[in-house]
Chain A
Amino acid sequence: MRRNAVLLPALIIGVYLVFSTGPIIWLMLSSIKDRQDLFAWPPTVFFRPVWTGYEAVFGVGSAQNTATAVGLYDSLVNSVVISGFGTMFAVVLGTLGGYATSRFRFPGHGDFMFFVLSTRMIPPVAVLVFYHMLYSRLHLTDTWLGLILVTTFINLGLATWIMKGFFDGVPTEVENIALVNGYSRLFAFRRLVLPMVSGGIAATAGFCFIVAWNEFAFSSILATTRAKTLPVKISSAMGATGIEWTQIFAAGVVLVVPVVIFFYLIRRYLLMGMTFGVLAKGPG
């Protein structure tokens, strides 16, 4: 491999990693700074760490008096359940819908896809109130079911579009061979096509989980006590006395850990066989 052909990519990746991980490192450092170090000029890298931020997040130590109806552990459970199921449903429904739209060119499939995409276009701010009204009427406020429903809904558009893209790339010969040999389409879908888009499923699950886990707007309106999710819980546990930087940063670090874990678990599927085969048409 010629040396100058390696230099450019290496440079690009190097610079980008500095740009992308730098602020994250800064986030972690800042989460343990005391007030003096936070606002020091020039910014400090070496200092004595202070844990008040994390104490506030976990409601321990100096922040023990912040009494709330729902403890941190409960909201963690809420978040895991809601994000987990919401992601799963979104991915499953998106996969089914994406496959149906990709294979069965039913009349109006283009409109359907556009409609599905349009669910992503409305700023949550605009419709928060109406959802609250709807949920009150359906008695879904503050329930797991209600929040899972919202989470699924939020991610459905993304999941369907991405999965359709992946399915578009799998040549129809794959199912045709099975059908000709007497297998059902369901069988062909389950055993032949699905494994080929496993990378796409992983990517979709990853994106959806991120959105679900970090979701704030709907969760803060629709689940204020029993089903309160982690981001909402943390923000409500923090004092209303100005901007408590270390608390916010600590919350950020704490919140990102499960997401990293999730991505670590699916890393193999993410990087393996991730081909948008729409461009990979081999024979035929």
Chain B
Amino acid sequence: MSIPQDETARVKRAPKQARTLPDSWLCGLFLAPSGLILALMVFYPFFSLIYYSTLQFSMMRPRIEPVDVGLGNYVDLLNDNEIWQRFAFTGKFVLATVLIQFTIGLAVAYAFQRNFKGRDFLFTLALLPMMLCPIVVGFLWRYMFNSEWGVVNWLVSLVGIAKIDWLGRSENALWAVAVADAWTWTPFVILLATAAFRGIPKDIKESAEIDGASPMFTFFRVTLPMSLPILMIALLLRLIDAFKQYDLFLAMTGGGPASETQTAAFALGKIAFGYFHTGEASALAIILLIVIMGLSMIFVRYLTRLSNRV
């Protein structure tokens, strides 16, 4: 990235003697506010979480003494087949939605590379889905996916297929909610991917052009590999959010039929505010947290290895 000319010109003038703070002070100063907020907002709830996860306790009945069960909650949860089903379902959902988001997102970012008239307007338009309130999005897609009068089934019927029960059957509901989630967050991927693609030096793109590489070849062999650091961050963020998805399931399926479309996060909500088993809920939260953290750590390690190369 070349340094803008006026900035360098400004700098070349005779320097003022400013009283300067040493770097370490500045670093501390910059980090302090964030550190404070994080300390306040994370530690108390987090340690509460761990503390309560070792108890058998219900928020609804604070009078009843909490029973210390040590790791009992964890053992019960991990032995519960139902919980494993929930995690399996969550995993499938995360894969589905991330797959859709990135396939579409990268394709659209690819399409937005060349400058054309109206590109800015269309680009802003493409960002709209992200701006809606998640619960509204949930109800909107529930409305559209309704098997009797939903517009999706109407489109499906145009192609000659019979009405599909989207939300009543867990295999379909998985995809229905994944589509809704992907619909909302693909703009995020598009935004970051576009930024990454635009950041590739012009010389490289021109080299590829001169080398005779077709646009597709260039995209897969040059553009994408060089954008990997940013795309990995985007992927990481989307994965984390997908694991936490709650609002959509609440609005679209309510976890049903029975508990088939309950993700781990949804089950957590059920236990916490449905049955008010605060202890158990906390334990589940910790388990979920460990899963997400584990995945993230793998990612971040791969990320740092990548950035060192490019």
Contact = CB atoms under 8 A, between A and B. Distances in A.
Does A pair with B? yes
A178 to B, nearest CB: 5
B161 interface: no
B152 to A, nearest CB: 10
A216 interface: yes
Nearest to A112: B31
A259 B296 CA distance: 30
B268 A126 contact: yes
B135 A216 contact: yes
Contacts of A94: 34
Nearest to B301: A110
Contacts of B135: 216, 231, 235, 248
Contacts of B192: 203
Contacts of A60: none
B186 to A, nearest CB: 7
A126 B49 contact: yes
Contact of A183 (B15, B215, B278): B15
Contacts of B59: 129
Contacts of B19: 184
Interface in A81-123: 93-94, 96-97, 99-101, 103-104, 106, 110, 112-123
A240 interface: no
B133 A114 contact: no
Contacts of B122: 13, 17
A21 interface: yes
B128 A24 contact: yes
Contacts of B24: 104
B45 A13 contact: no
B224 to A, nearest CB: 12
Contacts of A235: 135
- Report which residue of B16, B21, B132, B187 has the largest number of chain A beta carbons within 10 angstroms of its beta carbon: B132
Contacts of A231: 133, 135
Interface stretch (B2-10, B68-76, B168-176): B2-10
B140 A26 contact: yes
A149 B41 contact: yes
A110 B304 contact: yes
B227 A279 contact: yes
A114 B31 contact: no
Contacts of B129: 20, 23-24
Contacts of B150: 43
Contact of B30 (A10, A41, A96, A199): A96
Interface string B100-132: 000010011011111000001011111111111
A119 B199 contact: no
A192 to B, nearest CB: 5
A104 B26 CA distance: 9
B200 A279 contact: yes
Q: Is the interface of A mostly helix, strand, loop or mixed?
A: helix
B134 A41 contact: no
Given A17-B125, A263-B124, A275-B195, A8 B111 contact: yes
A8 B110 CA distance: 10
A16 B199 contact: no
A13 B143 contact: no
Interface in A3-46: 5, 8-10, 12-13, 16-17, 19-21, 23-24, 26-27, 30, 38-43
Contacts of B140: 23, 26-27, 30, 249, 252
Contacts of A125: 246, 265, 268-269, 272-273
Interface stretch (B77-85, B91-99, B281-289): B281-289
A50 interface: no
Interface of B: 1-3, 7-8, 10-12, 15-21, 23-24, 26-27, 29-31, 33-34, 37-38, 40-42, 44-46, 48-49, 59, 104, 107-108, 110-114, 120, 122-137, 139-141, 143-144, 148-151, 154, 157, 183, 186-188, 191-192, 194-196, 198-201, 215, 226-227, 229-230, 233, 236-237, 240-241, 243-244, 246-247, 265, 268-269, 272-273, 278, 281-282, 284-285, 288-289, 292-293, 296-297, 300, 304, 307, 310
Interface of A: 1, 5, 8-10, 12-13, 16-17, 19-21, 23-24, 26-27, 30, 38-43, 93-94, 96-97, 99-101, 103-104, 106, 110, 112-131, 133-134, 149-150, 152-153, 156, 158, 160-162, 165, 168-171, 173-174, 177-178, 181-187, 191-192, 195-196, 199, 203, 207, 210, 214, 216-217, 231, 235, 243, 245, 248-249, 251-252, 255-256, 259-260, 263-264, 267, 270-271, 274-283
The 9 A-B pairs at the shortest CB distance, nearest first, are namely A182-B15, A252-B136, A126-B285, A9-B111, A184-B20, A100-B30, A96-B30, A130-B45, A12-B111
Given A9-B112, A123-B265, 14 more contacts: A10-B111, A16-B104, A104-B23, A119-B41, A125-B268, A134-B44, A152-B37, A162-B233, A182-B17, A203-B191, A248-B135, A256-B131, A278-B230, A283-B2
24 contacts: A9-B111, A12-B108, A13-B111, A43-B151, A104-B23, A114-B297, A116-B38, A121-B289, A122-B49, A150-B41, A181-B11, A181-B12, A183-B11, A183-B16, A183-B18, A184-B20, A195-B7, A196-B1, A216-B134, A231-B135, A243-B139, A263-B124, A267-B124, A279-B196
